[in-house]
Amino acid sequence: MTAGTLGPGERRRLIDALLRIDALSVRSTREACVTELQNTLSRPLEWERDERALHDVWGLAVACLGRPGGIQTLLDVVEFFDRGSHAFREARALADAVLPEPLLTTEERRLLAQLVQHLERQGLTLIQHAELVPAYQRAVGEFGPPPRPEVYDERHIVDVRLLIEQLEEAPLGPDGVAPLLRFVHELAGYAKAPVATAFAEWMTRFAERTGLGQDWRRLLTATEKRPALDNAQRAASLVFECRPDGADPDRLAVSARLERADGTVAMVRCDEEPEPVERLPALVEALLNRERGLLAAEPCELTIEFALPRDLLDLPCDQFVVTLGGVPRRLGIEYPVVLRSLDRMDEVWLWPKWRSKWNLLREGAGEARVHPVCEPGEYDGERLFAVLSDPEAVGLAMAYPPMDEGPGRVDEIWVAFETGVPIVVWCRKSRAPERFTEEARELCGSDPATLPRTVRRLRREAVLSQDRRQNRRPQTLPGGGALEDANDRDETEHLGMHLALLYDDADRVPEPYDRLRPPA
């Protein structure tokens, strides 16, 4: 019940009844009541204090009417100071008559506020904060009221207490389960012992009081079942956006967000003090270690994406060595690691062709294919543009790095952007044309939509191949000396060790200036 839903006549009668209570009309006891009330509610009340009792109690009553169960909580506090008086009994009877019964008792509200406080002291990560709103939406259901905008602060941290207050007023589901109980059940999953145990005890007592009985967990689990999602709907990407600092282009402002195919976005690192480019592997390692448990809980395999400016696309991000759980390994052998282009994201006029080809790739229509280029100079800019302008050309695979400079060189990356090609694969170390022609068959012949995982497999094979070469004993010749194996001439010659993949998803393009906006 809010102040706006109570008629002016009823509000005046209620405030008059409160003023007749000695504990509120006398300033000293009123201050004691206010102090205890503020300690009992989940969030402190705010109103303009006044020396005059009428105005001060009026402001207090209006503030309480703006909170679920606020007036009832006030009366529970006042009862301790003015128990049994006729004025108190009259005010209580009037409140019961004009206000609906609150979902929570004063004691339940006080204990829940304490549990939330303990949970916040324990520490909620940015991902967990971003999960709170989807948890609220699951609790209220498809047609429930959306969370109020003020639940977010300027850092996009969610105010759990505001969500709980809104859930107190949400109608019961058809099965009789309170949305608040559903939300608290998910919230308790973030708690550690002994707070998790205290949450379980609170939920059990609340469920028994509201008639759900001892079997409330089974009822909650049964009604939480949702249609199964396919892999495309369950996919998730951890995107590191690296923008050069305007004052020093060798330093990067790095933000990171967890993007899901269902449209939910969780900021896990906001732009902070720009860092040197060489610090990027350490930032990635620190974030993965901090959020490892939650990232591992994603229902489908996680892809890691690096959104970079044009002149940083040569960074071997897949070869970053990170130590997770005490085990060092290359990032690209655990996760599919892909590059994304900030230049294409920033240039809106490139989007129509890009989205057209991405739709072809996503929908599996026609004969989407990756076009191989085995030698520098094989195509000039115009011929390459003509080849990639084919509507079914969704990718470009090169045996050499596109970043090399030289007279007459074609900027293959930019030609790909101009023609809307979302996929560019290249070898960071120039490859023999004959060998790449053979290797490119697998890349160009497989489903382009599976390229991130195909490339991840090649990176794993490269690590295993390197180990085999290091452990192989050289064959000795009859007169002494060793027989050199052509495959041992370069221990990192396997394609997977040098393979870069630009994989631009046109469905996930943050709008300018809206990159950090909380999910709707």
Asked if residue 220 lies in contact with residue 138, where contact means CB atoms within 8 angstroms, the answer is no
CB 69 within 8 A of CB 109: yes
pLDDT value, residue 297: 64
- As a residue count, the chain comes to 520
The one-letter amino acid code at 317 reads: C
Instruction: Retrieve residue 146's tokens.
Output: 């959306």
Q: What is the model's pLDDT at position 222?
A: 56
Place of tokens 């300027």: 154
Q: What is the pLDDT of residue 403?
A: 61
**Cα torsion through 48, 51, 56, 59, rounded to 10:** -20
Could you tell me which residues are beta bridge partners of residue 503?
423
Q: Are 285 and 323 in contact (CB under 8 A)?
A: yes
Orientation of helix 8-19 relative to helix 53-65, angle to 10°: 120
Q: How far apart are CA 117 and CA 195, in angstroms?
A: 10
Confidence at residue 472, expressed as pLDDT on a 0 to 100 scale: 53
Chain centroid offset of residue 365 CA: 31
> Please, which residues bridge with residue 267 across strands?
257
Q: How many CB atoms lie within 10 A of CB 80?
A: 11
For residue 293, with 0-12 CB atoms within 10 Å meaning exposed, 13-18 middle and 19 or more buried, which class applies? exposed
How many Å apart are CA 118 and CA 190, to the nearest integer?
11
Strand residue runs (E) in 205-263 = 236-244, 251-260
| C-beta of residue 305 within 8 angstroms of C-beta of residue 240 | yes
Longest dimension (CA), the chain: 115
CA distance 462 to 497: 6
- CB distance 497 to 466 below 8 Å: yes
Supply φ then ψ for residue 309, to 5 degrees.
Answer: -70, 165
Q: Distance between CA atoms of 446 and 487, rounded to whole angstroms?
A: 26
Residue 501 CA to its chain's centroid (Å): 24
- CA 284 from chain centre, in angstroms, equals 16
Question: What is the SS3 assignment for 243?
Answer: strand
* Rounded distance between C-alpha atoms, residue 231 and residue 244, angstroms: 34
- Asked if residues 486 and 467 have their Cβ atoms less than 8 Å apart, the reply is no
Q: In a structure prediction context, what are the per-residue pLDDT tens digits for the chain, which is 520 residues long?
A: 444 467 788 888 998 899 899 889 888 999 999 998 988 887 889 999 998 988 999 899 999 998 999 999 999 999 988 877 899 999 999 999 999 899 999 999 999 999 999 998 888 776 677 678 788 888 888 777 888 877 766 555 678 888 999 999 888 877 778 999 999 998 988 888 888 899 999 999 999 898 887 777 777 765 554 443 344 445 788 999 999 987 787 899 998 888 877 677 777 887 668 889 999 999 999 988 887 766 776 667 789 999 999 989 989 999 999 998 889 999 999 999 999 999 999 888 899 999 999 988 877 656 778 888 888 888 888 999 999 999 889 999 988 888 656 556 778 999 999 999 999 999 888 788 878 877 777 777 777 888 898 899 888 888 887 765 555 555 444 444 444 443 444 434 788 888 999 999 988 886 543 343 344 3
Which of the 8 DSSP states describes residue 38?
A: H
Chain centroid offset of residue 142 CA: 20
What count of other Cβ atoms lies within 10 Å of the Cβ of residue 237? 22
Closest CA to 379 of 345, 350, 419: 419
Cβ proximity of 143 and 220 under 8 Å: no
Pair 376, 404: CB distance under 8 Å: yes
What's residue 127's pLDDT?
64
Cα–Cα distance, 165 to 186 (Å, whole number)? 16
